[in-house]
Chain A
Amino acid sequence: MNKNPLSLQLNIKPEDFLPASEEEKESLVVMRESVSFWKDGFRRLARNKVAMISLFVIAVIMIFSFIVPLFYPYSYSTQTKGANNLKPMQYSEAEQAAIEAGEKVFPHVFGTDRMGRDYAIRVMVGSRISLLVGLIATAIILLIGSAYGSIAAFAGGWVDMVMMRIVDMIYTVPDILLIVLLSFALEDPLDALAGVAGFGWIRVVGKNMVSIFVVFALLYWVGMARMVRSQVLMLKESEYVTAARALGAKGGRIIKKHLLTNCIGTLIVTTTLQIPSSIFTESFLSFLGLGVAVPLPSLGSLCSDAINGMETYPYLLFIPAIVISLIILSFNLLGDGLRDAFDPKLKN
């Protein structure tokens, strides 16, 4: 049959119906891999120069505070006789004699303090304490805050009301009062606990430090709880929550599997921004003399000790002050970067 020249019908031949060859199949495969939530976020983070620089600074400070002290020839509590109040890179008389005798003496990079302790190692150990407090306290806050906030929002109604009023109340109690009261109240129980095998670390860290953790656990989760609550309030109306409930999922499972995983962006950002504020609080308390136990340095207590000798030895004050500002600044900037990368909605 001849085709009408005006027809729009295609010229189809029987070969057109053969199975596709491998080559043809390959051209249809989507070349780009699917981008997961994490990959997407980290890619955006990697493009943020400020955040990458702060990440680098944090990494350097971490190396100096956790790894370098292991190899450092001085210890934070050793008092060298005759080496009091040395200027940076200065040697004491005994050390000078040793050098002349051909021995190698490691220089006091930041000098020594009033008691003849090497200042560089004290600053390193001090920033280790500050970082540890920041990380541990933030972990506590993250756990309690996210659990409390999500339960309050998920339960709703009067449960939410009561739980949030408790949060308001905790917000109003002056934190310094609770810290001091708790450090007094916990003194005896902690002493008893330190005697028990396995809890000897309490004496090293200091009772004040443990009470600081307790206070963080009791007080500072409220901000996190508010943040998580507002997110969960929004998310719990989503269809997938209704679907999960229709399938018979229990409240705990919905919170863990659906709600908290969906506010992971907010959680990351709030946690990162919580770290500097925990470090801030610890240094503030140590500065007031309510922080770490005596031989152990913290950046706050180093600053506080250095104030009296400020006129003659200003570097003793400025070094820890710069380090603590640098730590807080980099965590803040990293937090901002993470927020832009993982939770662009929160930006303003």
Chain B
Amino acid sequence: MVKYITKRIFLAIATIWAVATLTFFLMNLVPGGPFMAEKAISPAAMAALEAKYGLDKPLGEQYIMYMSKALHGDFGDSLRQRGRTVSSIIFSKFPVSAKVGGLAVIVALCLGVPLGCFAAYKRGKVTDSIISVVSTCGIAVPGFVICTVLMYFLGVRARLLPTLGLTDWKSYIMPVIALAFYPTSYIMRLMRSSMLDVLGQDYMRTAKAKGLSQRVSLFKHALRNAILPVVTYLGPMIAYTLVGSFIVEKIFTIPGLGREFISAITNRDYTMIMGTTIFLATFMVIMNVIVDIVYKLIDPRIQLK
């Protein structure tokens, strides 16, 4: 177990390093720099700016400089938002995205798992068909369609909920629904099919024959086995939802990390792009490692190599 975890962590660090390197060189390949957009900047001032941020040095040297600083936890200053460090921006924007995303993850789990189980349990009945239709549609409808439809009916027509920003609890409702819609439907489908699989297993019949109550056999025997695929899906899903969906943040004008990332890319804010990419990659890789370990805890049969 310890050996497996060390190996996974080593691989994770290698992945993060590779992603960072790839992003660094790709970003610098692109013509134009972070100071291009500023009008009427004299060549001397431009050179001074570039020297200040070390952009005048050869690429290899810049890379080594950046990496050694990053290893010490220093991701530099933002090139466009003067006087703010990248880490301070990330850590001020991330909680906003994480709050909305975390709520969406909770909603998706609390709705998806029970409804999926219920559909499997009521297989072939009307409830099953209704849940199946809803989950199929939920997977097919793009996020921006859900956002705009919600906004039209709840925000514009009924004027029940605010359509902009994050001010009070009411303003969380629509972004959370929009973010949770797809994962909920996906978890419902996953849960239903794996539950159906488990319900047909021999040990379920044994449990019934032993005279176990329906409740115990369903929750203790079936659920624990059926939830494994959901756990696998959870890793990347949590990473993506917490970090923020670009679309949802754009439509509901939420000042989160996703929006920050897009504006960093369009503004060529090199240090900001690097910082956010490393943050995203680290987050995803850590989530995947955690999921693998949780997997092992839930299902002792799985051999970790």
Residue A66 at the chain B interface, CB threshold 8 Å: no
Chain B residues bordering chain A, tally (CB within 8 A)? 46
Task: Write the nearest CB–CB distance from B134 to chain A, whole angstroms.
Answer: 12
Residues from chain A with Cβ under 8 Å of B152 in the complex: 310, 314, 317
Task: Write the nearest CB–CB distance from B94 to chain A, whole angstroms.
Answer: 15
On whether A303 and B136 interact (CB within 8 A), knowing A288-B250, A324-B142, the answer reads no
CA distance A328 to B197 in the complex (A): 27
Task: Write the nearest CB–CB distance from B12 to chain A, whole angstroms.
Answer: 10
Task: Write the nearest CB–CB distance from A310 to chain B, whole angstroms.
Answer: 6
Decide: B148 and A307 in contact? CB cutoff 8 A. Answer: yes
Decide: B27 and A168 in contact? CB cutoff 8 A. Answer: no
CA distance A168 to B281 in the complex (A): 11
With both beta carbons as reference points, the residue of chain B lying nearest to A179 in the complex is identified as: B265
With both beta carbons as reference points, the residue of chain A lying nearest to B11 in the complex is identified as: A165
CA distance A185 to B31 in the complex (A): 6
Q: What does the 1/0 interface line of B131-167 toward A look like (CB < 8 Å)?
A: 0000011011111110011011000100000000000
CA distance A314 to B149 in the complex (A): 9
On whether A173 and B139 interact (CB within 8 A), knowing A168-B15, A184-B31, A303-B145, the answer reads no
Q: What does the 1/0 interface line of B263-305 toward A look like (CB < 8 Å)?
A: 0011000000100010011001100000000000000000000
On whether A173 and B281 interact (CB within 8 A), knowing A307-B251, A310-B156, A321-B149, the answer reads yes
Q: What does the 1/0 interface line of A163-176 toward B look like (CB < 8 Å)?
A: 00100110011101
Decide: B273 and A177 in contact? CB cutoff 8 A. Answer: yes
CA distance A287 to B144 in the complex (A): 8
Residues from chain B with Cβ under 8 Å of A337 in the complex: none
Decide: B144 and A284 in contact? CB cutoff 8 A. Answer: yes
Residue B60 at the chain A interface, CB threshold 8 Å: no
Residue B261 at the chain A interface, CB threshold 8 Å: yes
Decide: A181 and B15 in contact? CB cutoff 8 A. Answer: no
Decide: A176 and B15 in contact? CB cutoff 8 A. Answer: no
Decide: B136 and A329 in contact? CB cutoff 8 A. Answer: yes
Q: Chain A binding site: helix, strand, loop or mixed by DSSP?
A: helix
Q: What does the 1/0 interface line of A218-262 toward B look like (CB < 8 Å)?
A: 000000000000000000000000000000000000000000000
Residue A93 at the chain B interface, CB threshold 8 Å: no
- Picked from B31, B265, B281, the residue with its CB within 8 Å of the CB of A180 is B265
Restricting to B166-208, which residues have a CB under 8 Å from any CB of A?
A: 193-194, 196-197
Q: What does the 1/0 interface line of A71-93 toward B look like (CB < 8 Å)?
A: 00000000000000000000000
Residue A202 at the chain B interface, CB threshold 8 Å: no
Residues from chain B with Cβ under 8 Å of A184 in the complex: 30-32
Restricting to A300-342, which residues have a CB under 8 Å from any CB of B?
A: 300, 303-304, 307, 310-311, 314, 317-318, 321, 324-325, 328-329, 332-333
Interface centre among B140, B193, B196, B246 (most CB of A within 10 A): B140
Residues from chain A with Cβ under 8 Å of B126 in the complex: none
Residue A188 at the chain B interface, CB threshold 8 Å: yes
Q: What does the 1/0 interface line of A138-152 toward B look like (CB < 8 Å)?
A: 000000000000000
Chain A residues bordering chain B, tally (CB within 8 A)? 39
Residues from chain A with Cβ under 8 Å of B49 in the complex: none
Residue A154 at the chain B interface, CB threshold 8 Å: no
Residues from chain A with Cβ under 8 Å of B194 in the complex: 348
Residue B18 at the chain A interface, CB threshold 8 Å: yes
Residue B209 at the chain A interface, CB threshold 8 Å: no
Residues from chain A with Cβ under 8 Å of B32 in the complex: 184
Residues from chain B with Cβ under 8 Å of A304 in the complex: 144
Task: Write the nearest CB–CB distance from B168 to chain A, whole angstroms.
Answer: 23
CA distance A303 to B247 in the complex (A): 13
On whether A284 and B142 interact (CB within 8 A), knowing A184-B30, A311-B156, A329-B137, the answer reads yes
- Picked from A172, A284, A307, A333, the residue with its CB within 8 Å of the CB of B136 is A333
Task: Write the nearest CB–CB distance from B281 to chain A, whole angstroms.
Answer: 5
Residues from chain A with Cβ under 8 Å of B280 in the complex: 174
Decide: B142 and A328 in contact? CB cutoff 8 A. Answer: yes
Residue A208 at the chain B interface, CB threshold 8 Å: no
Residue A276 at the chain B interface, CB threshold 8 Å: yes
- Picked from B31, B142, B284, the residue with its CB within 8 Å of the CB of A172 is B284
Decide: B145 and A176 in contact? CB cutoff 8 A. Answer: no
Complex A-B, nearest 3 residue pairs according to Cβ-Cβ distance, in ascending order? A329-B140, A321-B145, A328-B140
22 contacts between A and B (CB under 8 A): A165-B14, A169-B18, A173-B23, A174-B281, A176-B246, A181-B30, A181-B265, A184-B31, A185-B31, A187-B31, A188-B31, A276-B140, A284-B144, A288-B246, A288-B247, A310-B151, A311-B156, A318-B149, A321-B145, A324-B145, A332-B139, A348-B196
Chain B residues near A (Cβ < 8 Å):
11, 14-16, 18-19, 22-23, 26-27, 29-32, 136-137, 139-145, 148-149, 151-152, 156, 193-194, 196-197, 246-247, 250-251, 261-262, 265-266, 273, 277, 280-281, 284-285
- Beyond contacts A177-B261, A185-B29, A332-B140: 17 other A-B pairs, Cβ-Cβ < 8 A, are A169-B18, A172-B284, A173-B281, A176-B262, A178-B26, A181-B30, A185-B30, A283-B142, A284-B247, A300-B144, A310-B148, A311-B156, A324-B145, A325-B142, A329-B141, A348-B193, A348-B197
